Amino acid sequence: MRFVKIALLVLLLIAALLSLNEIVKDSPSLLIKNFKNKNLDSKTLVLNIKFFGILPAASARIEDLGAEKLDRKSVFHFKATAQTMPYFSKIFQAQMQADSYVDMKNLCPLKFSQQVKTPGTYNYNREIIYDQKQKVMRIGDVQREIFEDTRDPISAIFYLRSQEFEKGREIQTHINTNQKNYIMLARVLDYKQLDINGEKTGYWIVTAEVKRADKSPRHKTSLSIWFFDNKAKTPFLIKIMTSGGLVTASLAGLK
């Protein structure tokens, strides 16, 4: 019995050390040290996604594919892909791809497509066409009313990155990729500098709240995003507090 108790204590200690290691790896100061000398204006960001801030669950890529033409309009094309980690796939396996086509003039999306695959259980494909002037979006034969500046999650983050940051500034937009309209209100919380061997690296901290436009108290998500103070405002840490718990996305590579 005593041996069992000792073994349990050892396992708990190992689990605690592993959890602490994952938390430390996602500390803003360590991420800045790892990437401050990299090409922060890279077109592809690789992210590690963790549940509860400690459980590695998926890897993701966000790609800036540059300028394209969509229905004779000039657009920016952004692509995001994600898949569950190999060991996590034994419990739950999923792959996702999303593409956002953003009007160069107003930085609002014209089209958003999303595919989710969970082998053997569920496949999801959706394409959304936004008409910002008419304040509607179309999903197949279904038409829904939206706000004039409605975006998808990918273009919403790009919109944030395109703005001039100033401590205390509030930036608002709307999000809808399904049925209900959401308001995203972001606030530039702070600007800080990290001194590494006498060289200072600046970064911004932005908080945001995403909630239903109809003020439903049950549908609310809060975010905190750390951006490098470079031209592209490269995000290197995102913390999302959902109803199911904390989800973090930390920068793991630049390509």
Residue span of the structural domain in which 249 resides: 29-254
Tokens representing 45?
């960001």
Residue 226 lies in a domain: yes
Amino acid at residue number 9: L
Look at residue 16 and tell me if it is in a domain. Answer: no
What's this model's pTM, rounded to 2 decimal places?
A: 0.86
**Domain total of the chain:** 1
The pLDDT value given to residue 218: 73
The answer to the question of residue 6 being in a domain is: no
39-76 per-position pLDDT tens digit: 888 999 999 999 887 788 889 999 999 999 999 999 99
What tens digit of pLDDT does each residue of 197-244 get? Answer: 889 999 999 999 999 988 777 778 999 999 999 999 999 999 999 877
Cβ-contact 110, 74 below 8 angstroms:
no
Residue 24 lies in a domain: no
Summary mean pLDDT of the chain: 86
Q: Cα–Cα distance between 47 and 43 in angstroms, integer?
A: 13
Give DSSP secondary structure letters for 144-163: EE--TTEE-HHHHHHHHHHS
% of the chain with per-residue pLDDT over 70 = 87
Residue 196's pLDDT is what?
85
Side-chain half-sphere CA neighbours of 244 within 13 A? 4
Residue 177 in domain: yes
